Chain A
Amino acid sequence: MIKLLGAVLVLFAGTMIGFQQAARFAERPRQLRQLAHALQRLETEIGYGHTPLPEALERTASATPEPLASIFRKAASGVWETESFSFRDSWEQAIRLQWEMTAMKKNEQAVLIRLGSTLGISDKEDQLKHIHLALLQLKSEEDAARDDQGRYEKMWKSLGLLIAVLVVILMV
């Protein structure tokens, strides 16, 4: 009886792990898309609104779902909270702190950090070019993420269950 209960638990846990991994693959392209939208919004604020950067980031954050919104919000508030920070430091810290909460990977983190080192310190055209470049890079990451999703999402869903079955068979 107990053996049966254990087997059921193992099967359940395995399936859940598989689903969770699959969800990460589904989540990443979605968040990349949201990130691209957020940067487009920032582009508009800078290019047409001439909005000062902290305010532009706040506005972007309010139009972006979590966990991405926190990155923008923290980057904006960091410069006032820590006196020794430049914007680049604040932006980088916000990204590193918040990254765990997202489904995104190293590549897009590098793209964002590179963007942060240029935000706010050059003229409008230059800013727009850098944001554009970041958008292009994110787009290619998104395409890759969608490929991965197609390839691995289903696989992980069944793989979790199958490994659990294997463990149960070995245990019995």
Chain B
Amino acid sequence: MLARVVHLLPLELKTLLERLPDHMQEQLEEIRIREGRPLEIGFRGQSRFMMVDGSLRQAADGAYKPSADTCRKLLERITNYSLYAMEEELKRGFITVSGGHRIGLAGRTILDGGMVRGIRDIGAFNIRVAREVIGASALLLPKLIDRNRKTLHSTLILAPPQQGKTTLVRDIARSVSYGLWPTLEASSWQGRKVGIVDERSEIAACVRGIPTFDVGPRTDVMDACPKAEGMMMLVRSMSPEVLIIDEIGRPEDGEAIREASHAGISVVATAHAYDLQDARGRPVLLKLLEEGAFTYVVELKRTEQGVMHRVVPAEAALESAAAREVAAMPRLLPHAVQAWMGRRRADDP
């Protein structure tokens, strides 16, 4: 993984990080660079400080501290020597570079009438190494297929952060767009036109409007666009058959999803929620479920064995809520709730 981001690093940092053993380089998830403070790296959900000799410790004493000059060079490299061309990115607090890697920035903000206009004196960087897991949706996709319309059912994917939601929807977009339906009966179906509204540039990781992840040949991406507006723009201009949106939750998102479903478009959306119960507590999601905007609800859970999913038909999701309110019979809908399915660690997103 280090090899993917090494071209962004100034020489000093590059030589230091290349001293990491190969398996560590492979598992690298984050590089946190703070000017004049210890260099921290993150891998497999853990973090360590990096010593001057390249070893890793839990304690920060004796760690390598990047100098102001190193940070300046890093900033120049990640902005292509053009901070002035990154105003929008600085307003959002991160830069997406080619390859989908995202670099979070912290420093002193510049305010303009109470609104953040940008960051200057940038003193901290968090390089998050992006990984694309091709085939992450292979087990889930067959359960979401709409046989009548030869496309996907509208689906809501629920999970807490860091569980692989984005990786999953990216792979769904890719498969649907290529027409790589992972079941026998659907293998002759053609690909579908996919529209992605990528408000935070995470799904497609566009650089100057061009996706750097492979999201498929029939995919159009509205990058860095507010979700509700982006959905309406895509529906009007690009006639998508499947719409993919990350992290819905605002009332206007619900409105746009309703519009899209009325137009016969399948919507695959994700939302932050611990589980179904939690999602029902959110008015926007509950209303969408009640109105039947989604056919299926998918819960994701990242375990030791990998990412597990569970598909629940939307009506069942609501009924079980009602059932629970009556405080009776949890066995009411065992047929509707499928068991947790998962993937082995090897290709864990």
Contacts and interface: CB of A to CB of B under 8 A. Distances in A.
B120 A54 contact: no
Interface in A63-88: 79, 83-84, 86-87
Contacts of B76: 79, 86-87, 120-121
A96 interface: no
A124 B87 contact: yes
B189 interface: no
B8 to A, nearest CB: 12
Interface in B40-90: 69, 72-73, 75-76, 79-85, 87, 90
Given A86-B76, A121-B76, A51 B11 contact: no
A86 B87 CA distance: 21
B304 to A, nearest CB: 41
Contacts of A79: 76, 81
A122 B10 contact: no
A84 B10 contact: yes
Given A84-B10, A123-B118, A124-B87, A53 B72 contact: no
A122 B84 contact: yes
Nearest to B83: A121
A51 B85 contact: yes
Interface string B117-147: 0101000000000000000000000000000
A50 B118 CA distance: 16
Contacts of B81: 52-54, 79, 87, 119-120
Contacts of A120: 76, 79, 81-84
A127 interface: yes
Nearest to B69: A86
Given A84-B10, A123-B118, A123-B120, A52 B85 contact: yes
Interface string A116-152: 0001111110110000000000000000000000000
Interface in B95-117: 110
Contacts of B82: 46, 50-53, 56, 120
A84 B72 CA distance: 12
A51 to B, nearest CB: 7
Contacts, number: 56
B43 to A, nearest CB: 25
A86 B73 contact: yes
Contact of B84 (A46, A54, A84, A87): A46
B70 to A, nearest CB: 10
Contacts of A121: 72, 75-76, 83
Among B76, B82, B87, find the residue whose CB has the most chain A CB atoms closer than 10 A: B82
Contacts of B72: 86, 121
Given A83-B11, A84-B10, A84-B11, A123 B73 contact: no
B84 A127 contact: yes
Interface in A1-55: 46, 50-54
Contacts of B80: 52-54
A123 B87 contact: yes
Contacts of A127: 84
A87 B69 CA distance: 11
Contacts of A54: 80-81
Contact of B85 (A50, A83, A87): A50
A126 B117 CA distance: 14
Contacts of B90: 123
A56 B81 CA distance: 11
Contacts of B87: 123-124
Nearest to B12: A84
Given A122-B120, A126-B84, 14 more contacts: A46-B82, A53-B81, A79-B76, A86-B69, A86-B72, A87-B76, A120-B79, A120-B81, A120-B84, A122-B83, A123-B83, A123-B118, A123-B120, A124-B87
13 contacts: A51-B85, A52-B81, A83-B10, A83-B11, A84-B10, A86-B76, A120-B82, A120-B84, A121-B75, A122-B84, A122-B120, A123-B90, A126-B84
Interface of B: 10-11, 14, 69, 72-73, 75-76, 79-85, 87, 90, 110, 118, 120
Q: Across chains A and B, which 9 residue pairs bring their CB atoms closest together, nearest first?
A: A53-B81, A52-B82, A120-B81, A124-B84, A50-B85, A84-B11, A53-B82, A52-B80, A86-B73
